[in-house]
Amino acid sequence: MLGVALGLLLAWAGMCLSRTELLRVFELSSLDVRFRAEKPANLDPRIILVVIDDSSIRQLGRWPWPREFHAALLQALNEYPPRAIGYDILMTEPDEKHPEADRAMVELCRQLRCTVFAMARDRDARGEYELKPFEALAKVTTPGAVNAPRDLDGVLRRLPMRVLGQSSFSAAVAEKMEKGSTSKLPDILPIRFRGRLKDFRVVSAAEVLKSLQQRSAGQPESFPLKSFLNSVVLVGLAATGTDVAPTPLDTNSPLVVVHANAVNNILRREFLREVPRGVTWAVMGLLCAFIGLMTAVKRPLVSGILTFCVAVGWIVAAFWLLRGWNLWIEMVAPMLVLLPTFAVMSAYRFFVEERDKRFIKKAFRHYLSERVLEQVLVNPGMLRLGGERRTLTVLFSDVRGFTTFCEKNPPETVVPLLNEIMGALSVPIRKHDGTLDKYMGDAIMAFWGAPIPQKEDHALRAVRCALDMQAALRRIAEEKGAQGLQTLRMGIGINTGDMTVGNMGSAELFDYTVIGDEVNLGARLESETRKWNADIIVSETTYELVQNHIQCERLGETTVKGKVKPVTIYKVIGPKATLPRPDRS
């Protein structure tokens, strides 16, 4: 539950932080990346850009041009009239030196009856002001506001559709092209950028004027003026350093290209829509809760992979929603929430839960094999205080003859030797995944089947361990024969039955051990080894579980302390697979 709560808390914090200007700038930049990742598509083929580019200025002279050039350009358009013309050039004052050029422009616009000329309207401390076409031109054309406010980072991504009551340039052009196309437009249009200048149908203004001259002279046109028929023509500047602005697709995009994208959006009814914040952060809250939960219960590698997959999935979804559905969903703030959810929860686990695991590892590494210990670390609840009833196998061993050796030698000799013997006898216990319960002088108690369940073979593991322990003691006796230990022997008793296993003691000090009547029987069987002169004695219950793998000899029945009824016991001889075959001769 802590992981879920942490995920929801970080999601709420992310939603609040996403409103800040800094994150908003990063989010807008991520939208630009999504735009740039797309190929040009869904561009209306009726849109044609007539641009006054570097080539036009080289051929016809520096900007601004004389009005007769504009009159000639309008004349070329009038040869095959478009359905809408957008002239993205401010002409606020009449040309007093060449009034005939102005009159020609006005007459051509009157004939075309589809021309929108650029204007600007704004408000400052002194009130509203506007820059509009000169009076004669304004009477025969439709004004369109070309106001283009930038976002926080200075990039142009949206256009107002109305400016102080005046229709925008893009909206006016689209309305000329298709009546009613501008109905239900938002006040601010987030532009769904589809193409750069090169992606539209583009022709240089100089090329258009050249084609007009060729047509007048009866020569083939280098650019077919017939292409303008029933089209949408946008005239604007595209020369280096003139009327440009940074856009998501270009750091210096001609503004006429921005208007072209806006007109394309309106005609295609293809509008960029931002996913409601409530929906975005509701989904993100669920994902953060999921990541928090998985980080709390799964291994770091697994939860890390899940976090990576969720983050990548969100990014892929952001690109897919834009491409397929024109939906803009936040990407930066969600990433800044998902990753900290994993990081904070992982840190908590490391400093809190991993601390507990380090304690368990330190406390139990001498009593459990590495394989068993790793499983316990995954589920520390196996070692909870208290007990549970399980069918287990317990082993008791006691080294015979060592007490006499202790009486004859000083502690400085006895203790190192005892430690060496106990160390050698402990190795088989860990090898066979047993739990080393305790050392009792020269005796050992161990059990199998807990904390890791070994339902199929805990008895067999215990018996095989006993055989390995006997082999280890024989090697020590041979090596230490010069010290008087050649007579060392060891009795081992093994019993299988229902026992209580768990942490026994107080919350501050406890032992992971087994108790019960069947445990006591295992200890009594070890004592019986002296009476029956056997190295390893097992109970009938244990024998029934290992008889297919271990060769045993039935010793008979015996009455042990604490039992009213006699118990059947067996002497372990060795693994069946290693016994010599009988001589049949």
Q: What is the pLDDT of residues 170-187, one digit of tens each?
A: 999 999 998 877 888 888
DSSP state of 336: H
Please, which pLDDT band fits residue 50 given cuts at 50, 70 and 90? very high
pLDDT of residue 404: 76
Q: At 27, list the tokens.
A: 């989010």
The tally of domains found in the chain comes to 3
What DSSP designation does 371 have? H
> What is the reported pTM?
0.65
Residue 125: inside a domain: yes
Tokens of 36: 């740039």
pLDDT of residue 585: 38
Query: 294 and 227, same structural domain?
Result: no
Task: Considering only residues 519 and 294, tell me which one the structure prediction assigns the higher pLDDT.
Answer: 519
**For the domain that residue 544 is a member of, what is the CATH number?**
3.30.70.1230
How confident is the model over 189-198, as pLDDT tens digits?
999 999 999 9
Q: By mean pLDDT, which of 8-12, 218-222, 396-400 is the weakest?
A: 8-12
- Residues 287, 262 within the same domain: no
* Residue 388, domain extent: 378-578
Of the pLDDT bands very low, low, confident and very high (cuts 50, 70, 90), residue 478 is confident
Query: Does 424 share its domain with 295?
Result: no
Considering the domain boundaries, does residue 368 fall inside one? no
> CA-to-CA distance for 181 and 172, rounded, in angstroms?
10
The per-residue pLDDT for 357 is 67
Is 467 among the domain residues? yes
- Whether 579 shows a pLDDT value over 50: the answer reads no
The pLDDT assigned to 375 comes to 59
Say if 29 falls within a structural domain: no
Whether the CB-CB separation of 98 and 70 falls below 8 Å is answered with no
Structural domain contains residue 36:
no
Residues 158, 31, 263, 254: what is their CA dihedral angle, to the nearest 10 degrees?
Answer: 80
Residue 583's pLDDT band (boundaries 50, 70, 90)?
very low
Who's near 380: CB < 8 A, 6+ residues apart?
A: 356, 357, 360
Question: Do 320 and 417 share a domain, yes or no?
Answer: no
303 against 349, higher pLDDT: 303
Length of the chain: 585
Q: What percent of the chain has pLDDT over 70?
A: 91
Express each pLDDT in 288-331 by its tens digit.
Answer: 888 888 877 788 788 888 889 999 999 999 999 999 899 999 99
Is residue 212 assigned to a domain? yes
Q: Indicate the residue among 205, 237, 269 that finishes a domain.
A: 269
Which of 19-23, 111-115, 201-205 has the least mean pLDDT? 19-23
**Calpha distance 115→92 (Å, rounded):** 16
Whether residue 533 sits in one domain with residue 468: yes
Look over the chain and give the mean of its residue pLDDT values, rounded to a whole number. 87
* DSSP-assigned states of every residue in 223-237: S-GGGGTT-EEEEEE
pLDDT at 352: 74
Which pLDDT does position 411 carry in this prediction? Answer: 85
DSSP 8-state secondary structure symbol assigned to residue 368: B
Q: 3-class DSSP state for residue 52?
A: strand
Whether the per-residue pLDDT at 243 is higher than 70: the answer is yes
Domain match, 225 and 349 both: no
Report the pLDDT averaged over residues 261-266.
Answer: 95
Same domain, 116 and 231: yes
| Dist. CA 92–CA 486, nearest whole Å | 118
- Contact between 160 and 121 under an 8 Å Cβ cutoff? The reply is no
Q: Same domain, yes or no, for 113 and 144?
A: yes
Higher-confidence position of 355 and 551: 551
**Tokens 């283009």, residue located:** 148
Which residue, 296, 331, 359, sits at the end of a domain? Answer: 359
Query: Is the confidence at residue 363, as pLDDT, over 60?
Result: no
**Residues 7, 293: contact at Cβ < 8 Å?**
yes
**Of 252, 269, 286, which residue is a domain's last?**
269
Spatial separation of the C-alpha atoms in residues 372 and 452, rounded to whole Å: 6
Considering only residues 319 and 380, tell me which one the structure prediction assigns the higher pLDDT: 319
Closest CA to 114 of 252, 222, 232, 218: 232
Query: pLDDT tens digits, residue range 134-159?
Result: 999 999 999 999 999 999 999 999 99
User: Is 80 exceeded by the pLDDT of residue 577?
Assistant: no
Q: How far apart are the first and last CA of the chain?
A: 74
210 and 139, same structural domain?
Answer: yes
Beta 232-237 vs 567-575: how paired, if at all?
unpaired
d(CA 332, CA 541): 65
What confidence score (pLDDT) does residue 380 get?
Answer: 61
Q: Same domain for 193 and 232? A: yes
Listed residue (520, 542, 424) closest to 528, CA to CA: 520
Distances (CA, A) of 545 to 201, 523, 583: 87, 19, 29
Exposure string of 32-46, with b = 16+ CB inside 10 Å and e = fewer, is: bebbeeeeeeebbeb
What's the confidence (pLDDT) of residue 454?
A: 85
Whether 204 is covered by a domain: the verdict is yes
- Asked whether residue 236 falls in the same domain as residue 261, the answer is yes
Residue 541 located in a structural domain: yes
Q: Around Cβ 371, how many Cβ atoms within 10 Å?
A: 11
Quote the pLDDT of residue 582: 45
What is the 3 state secondary structure string of 78-120? HHCCCCEEEECCCCCCCCCCCHHHHHHHHHHHHHHCCEEEEEE
Q: Check whether residue 303 and residue 407 sit in a common domain.
A: no
Answer positive or negative: Cα dihedral of 40, 43, 45, 51.
Answer: negative
